[in-house]
Amino acid sequence: MQNSLRFYIFATFLKKQTHMKTEQAIFACGCFWGTQYQLERAAGVLRTSVGYIGGKEPHPTYEAVKAHRTGHAEAVWVEYDADTTSYIELCRLFFEIHDPAQTDGIGPDLGPQYRSEIFYLNERQRQEAAQVIEELRKAGYEVHTRLTPASTFWPGEDYHQHYYDKTDGVPYCHIRVKKFF
């Protein structure tokens, strides 16, 4: 009897896992180390990857992006369980972990590769991101965040992935400040 109960529990777990509704999002807001650190700890986030998007150069490297030769932004790709969290909730978190009033830089990280930008994957994401921006503006916040159709996301080098977890550090410029209540 106990073995059949274990099997039922395991089969139920597998069923939930295989029917999970996953979606993706791409956010850029300064140094991708801190952005990834904050986003990957959100409820419902399954996987993240740091990388580059928004420029013209294929297969960009960190050095080329940093030298402003590619037009790319440092960004974070997110895969999430849409039954646990929503795109709107992730957008709200995105805006709470940086200052969207800055242009071409976040905190001490300056340059166009550190811009605030949401790379939407479909029209629903564009509309929902615009809705969150409007919420912020109505609350008195200045927002310079760009909304851009997603192009190719180029994963960053391995040494950048989950940087703060590898180094036992915490972000110095991505501190969460509640803006939505």
Which residues does the annotation mark as catalytic?
Answer: 31
Q: How far is the first Cα of the chain from the last one, in angstroms, to the nearest whole number?
A: 48
Least Cα distance to 96 among 125, 116, 74 occurs for: 116
- CB burial of 78-115 (b: ≥16 within 10 Å; e: otherwise) equals bebeeeebebebbbbbbbbbbbbebeebbbebebbbbb
E strands, 100-165, are 105-106, 109-110, 116-120, 146-149, 154-155
Residue type at 3 in one-letter notation: N
